[in-house]
Structure 1
Amino acid sequence: MEKVKSVMDKTIASTCAILLAFMTLLTIYQVIMRYAFKSPSTVSEELLGYSFVWVSLLGTALVFGQKDHMKITLLSDKVKGKGQVVLSVFTELLIMAIAIGVFILGGQRFMEIGSLQLSPTINIEMHWIYIIIPICGVLIMVYNILNIIQDIQKNYKSRRGELQ
C-alpha cells in the first residue's frame, strides 16, 4: 500500500511541478508579448486559466492523500486507540462520499455539458478541460481507501505491540 501511495504522490507532485513550470513560461511569454510587442496573447491567457484549475485540483488530491488538509482536531485529540481509528475511517468515508458526489458525478455532468462547448480561443471541446474533475475524484477516492487501510494497519500494529 505504501508503495502505491508513494508512486501516486510522486506522479501527482511531478505533474503539478510540470504544470507550474509551464504556467511560469506562459506568464513570461504573455508579459513579453504584452509589453514588448504590444500584442497580448489570448491563447496563453486561456491556457494559463486551464492550467491553474488543473494544478489546483491535482494539488487538492495530493493534499487529501497526504492528510495535510485543514482539519479541526478538537474531537480527534480527545479520542485514543480504537476510537481514533473509527473517527479517522469515518472522516475518510465522508471525504470519499463528497468526492464521489461532487468530483466524480458532478464532474461527469460537467463533461457532458463541456462536450457541447468549445473553448473560445484554442477551439477544443471543453470536456477535455473538465476531465480533470472526475480524475481528481478518483484519485481522492483511491487515497481515501489507502488512508483507511493504513490507519487500520497502524492501529493493529500498535495493539500487537501493546500485547507483547
Structure 2
Amino acid sequence: MILTKLNNILFKIQTWFAVACLTVFFCGVAFQVFSRILGIPANFTEEVSNYAFIWVTFMGTALMLRENRHFRFTAIAAKFKGKLFWANEMICMLILLGISLLMLVHGAQLTQKFWTWHFTSLSSVSLGWAWLCLPLCGFTSTMYCIEAIYKFIRDPSSREIVDEATAAIREAELAEQQAGQTQNQKGGQR
C-alpha cells in the first residue's frame, strides 16, 4: 500500500531527525556544563538544548504512535473481546486522529505567529523553528493514525493489547524450549 510505503519513509526520516535532536540536546548540555566550569559564557546552549529536547519529545510521540507503543490505559481494554474491543480501539484511534489534526492545524498557526519572534540568545534565528515541531508531529501522527485505522479495519488483531510481562515470559519459555530441543539434538547425535 502506498500509505505504508510513504509512512515507512516518514518514519525513517523522523527517527533520524529525533536522534539528531537528541544528540544536539546532549552536546548542548555537555557544552553548557564545561563552559560553566571553564567560565566561558555560552548562553545559547540552554535555549538550544531546551528546544532540541522539545523536538525530541514531539518526534518521539509520533514515532511511538506508529509503533502502537504510546501511553495507553489497558487494564480494562485488555479484557474487551469481539465488537466491544473493536469499538473501543476504533474510538481511541479516532480520538488520536482528532488530536493529531488539532496539533497539525493549531501548530501551524502557532508556528506562523511566532515566526517573526526570535530566540533570546540567538537573535538572528526565528522562534518559529522551535514551534515547527508541533505541525510536523501533527502531520506525521495524522498519517500514522490513518494507516493504523486502515490496518485495524482489515485486521483487528493489529491492535491487540499485549501485556509486556506476559510477552517477556512467553519469549523466555520459547527460548527455553528451543534450547532444550537443541540440547536433545546434540545428545541424539553422539
**TM-score, with length taken from structure 1:** 0.82
Is the contact made by 1:81 and 1:155 (CA closer than 8 Å) also made in structure 2?
A: no
Q: Which moved more, 1:16-25 or 1:45-54?
A: 16-25
Stretches of structure 1 that go unaligned for 5 or more consecutive residues are 158-164
**Matching residue of 1:11:** 13
* Aligned-partner SS, 2:27: helix
Q: In 2 relative to 1, CA 84–8 (structure 1 residues): closer, same or farther, beyond 3 Å?
A: farther
Computing the radius of gyration from Cα coordinates, the structure with the larger value is 2
Q: For residues 1-164 of structure 1, what are the structure 2 equivalents within 5 Å?
A: 1=1, 2-36=4-38, 38-101=39-102, 103-123=103-123, 124-155=125-156
Is the contact made by 2:65 and 2:141 (CA closer than 8 Å) also made in structure 1?
A: yes
Is the contact made by 1:107 and 1:134 (CA closer than 8 Å) also made in structure 2?
A: yes
Q: In 2 relative to 1, CA 81–3 (structure 1 residues): closer, same or farther, beyond 3 Å?
A: farther
Q: Which moved more, 1:13-22 or 1:129-138?
A: 13-22
After superposition, give the CA deviation of every residue in 1:54-98 in whole Å (9 maximum; x if it has no partner): 011101111111111221224422332344233222211111111
Stretches of structure 2 that go unaligned for 5 or more consecutive residues are 159-190
The separation in 1 between residues aligned to 2:60 and 2:83, in whole angstroms, is 31
- Identity %, equivalent residues: 23
The separation in 2 between residues aligned to 1:34 and 1:86, in whole angstroms, is 55
* C-alpha RMSD over aligned residues: 2.2
The separation in 2 between residues aligned to 1:41 and 1:73, in whole angstroms, is 45
Q: Which moved more, 1:141-150 or 1:17-26?
A: 17-26
The higher relative CO (CA closer than 8 Å, separation ≥ 6) is in 1
